[in-house]
Structure 1
Amino acid sequence: MASSSPRVLGVYETVLYASDVVLAVSFYSEVLGLTLIEEPGELSAAFRLDDGGVLLVFDPRRASAPHRPVPSHGATGPGHVAFAL
């Protein structure tokens, strides 16, 4: 590995999928104590983690719909991860 390669400092963003976003919000906020960073909608919810990372929870049916401001996600396969560099 070249010395100029960026060093991964942590996970910046994680996306999970839940068919019931309201139920997911209840679990992640009430059971795990995560802080909502935006009002949840039918499409998604966003939480701030203590290390500064973000957990996004998307409804897979709505996330795969075309012609939205956010590009469609491949909600039937693996999620994605973004590294903080």
Structure 2
Amino acid sequence: MTGTPPRLDGILETAVYVDDMAAAHAFYSDVLGLTRMVTGDRLFAYDAGPAQTLLVFHRGHTGEDVQTPGGVVPGHDTTGSSHFAFRIGRDALDDWRTYLKASGVDIISEVDWPAGGQSLYFRDPDGNVLEIAAPPLWPNFTASP
């Protein structure tokens, strides 16, 4: 390998795979308050923050390539549960803890990180592990926008 790679500007999309699209929509829209931007048989796309998209794919329905007017989207799929984290401000942690409990969402773990950040872990209806994370957690995560 030669040279320095060009700069990346961040993660644009994060994906999770689910078996029950209706239950997933109820959870991500009604419980977590995300706005659905795209609806389809294979996927839903949610606004997860400025320039950030959560893709919810229908497990078992995305393995084949898809031809679009702009080109081919390669097939992809997973089995088992996955994980991703939502970023929050430190002052929102208690509000999220209270809100999740009131919404009937069990917090399965709470972690105090060595750098001083805190995380709440819980599951979506398909068993995917979600995290609400308050800084500082990673060296590049010190504050919310």
Say yes or no: TM over 0.5.
Answer: yes
1:24 aligned residue: 24
* Residue 75 (structure 1) shift: 1.9
The whole-number CA distance in structure 1 between the counterparts of 2:14 and 2:81 is: 11
1:44 aligned residue: 43
* Residue 23 (structure 1) shift: 1.0
Q: Which has the larger radius of gyration?
A: 2
1:13 aligned residue: 13
Q: Structure 2: which 5+ runs fail to align?
A: 68-72, 83-145
Greater RCO (Cα-Cα under 8 Å, separation 6 or more): 1
* Residue 5 (structure 1) shift: 4.4
* Residue 51 (structure 1) shift: 2.4
Cα deviation 1:18-68 (Å, max 9, x = unaligned): 001111111001000001112x2221100012222000000111012x253
The whole-number CA distance in structure 2 between the counterparts of 1:31 and 1:6 is: 38
Give the SS at the match of 2:30: helix
| % same residue | 36
Q: Structure 1: which 5+ runs fail to align?
A: 80-85
The whole-number CA distance in structure 1 between the counterparts of 2:11 and 2:40 is: 24
Q: TM-score of the superposition, structure 2-length normalised?
A: 0.44
Higher strand share: 2
Give the aligned residue type for 1:11: I
The whole-number CA distance in structure 2 between the counterparts of 1:78 and 1:51 is: 26
The whole-number CA distance in structure 2 between the counterparts of 1:42 and 1:5 is: 36
User: Structure 1 residues 9 and 46, CA, compared in 2 at 3 Å: closer, same or farther?
Assistant: same
- 8 Å Cα contact 2:17/2:77 also seen in 1: no
Q: TM-score of the superposition, structure 1-length normalised?
A: 0.69
**RMSD over equivalenced CA pairs, Å:** 2.6
Give the SS at the match of 2:49: coil
The whole-number CA distance in structure 2 between the counterparts of 1:63 and 1:10 is: 24
